[in-house]
Amino acid sequence: MPATATDTDYTTIEFEVADRIGTITLNRPDVFNAFDDTLSKELLDALKKAERNREVRVIILTGAGKAFCSGQDLGDLKAKYVPGHVPHLGDDLKYRYNPIIKRITSMEKPVIAAVNGVAAGAGCSLALACDMRLASQYASFIEVFINVGLIPDSASSWHLTRFVGLGKAMEMCMTSQKIGAEEALQLGLVNTVCPADELAEKTRALASKIVAMPERGIALTKRLLRQGLENSLAQQLEAEMYAQETAGQTEDHFEGVTAFLEKRKPDFK
């Protein structure tokens, strides 16, 4: 893709590349950007395209209208839920939701969620899977699964305890407690809260700051921090050793040290 491009092949999302930032916008505002089969497939496809696109260094994920994402579109299930219907939700997760979460967390490029409104159910899980979250004053996070007799999925049960601790995660998931933007900031669910009309600008400013950093160093840092959630101290020290060996052999490392010694701003490539 050129420096600025918009993918017009989608019907439920928008995907634009500009200034080395790929922006994916969930675009079903009439149902608060709820997931249906099409949105799931298009979101995964856009994430794959952004990951492969050499022009893209950072990805922003946001929603159109008043919501970030309200989770599964239950209206989409109306025809299925009749007496005698036995859903196979494990397969639904395996083939629809889990590949999206795995793509976001495993790719080397940072993914920033610009949470413009409610993030509920799988929409909450989607936001939590991103590497950073910026929230508008109207953002909220709700684990609504229990309201329909289900469990928190799409990695919410994994991410949430790491952000807020076991007790708060239990409360959120067992009572479907709504967490507003300011409380989310206090809990560590989001990196910052800003007025709604400043969210897009502040998110792009953060993305632009990362774009200007050494690309390989950013990729290795994301990988290490993700691994650190699972590794023992000994494993992490070993992982850091190999990652640092790789980073130290990049042109950007040489440029960074040289710029420091020459008292000038580095020009990372």
How confident is the model over 156-191, as pLDDT tens digits? 999 999 999 999 999 999 999 999 999 999 999 999
Domain chopping of the chain, boundaries: 4-211, 215-261
> Residue 186, by phi and psi: left (phi above 0), alpha (psi -120 to 50) or beta?
alpha
Phi first, then psi: give them for residue 192, nearest 5 degrees.
-160, 160
Q: What is the dihedral of CA 111, 107, 104, 184, to 10 degrees?
A: -50
Q: Rounded to two decimals, what is the model's pTM?
A: 0.93
Q: Helix or strand or coil: residue 233? A: helix
The reply to whether domains 4-211 and 215-261 share a CATH topology is no
CA atoms of 19 and 41, how far apart (whole Å): 26
Per-residue pLDDT tens over the stretch 120-156: 999 999 999 999 999 999 999 999 999 999 999 999 9
Considering the domain 4-211, what is its CATH architecture?
Alpha-Beta Complex (3.90)
Which CATH code, of 1.10.3470, 1.10.12, 3.30.40, 3.30.460, is assigned to 215-261?
A: 1.10.12
Please report the pLDDT score of residue 129 as a whole number. 98
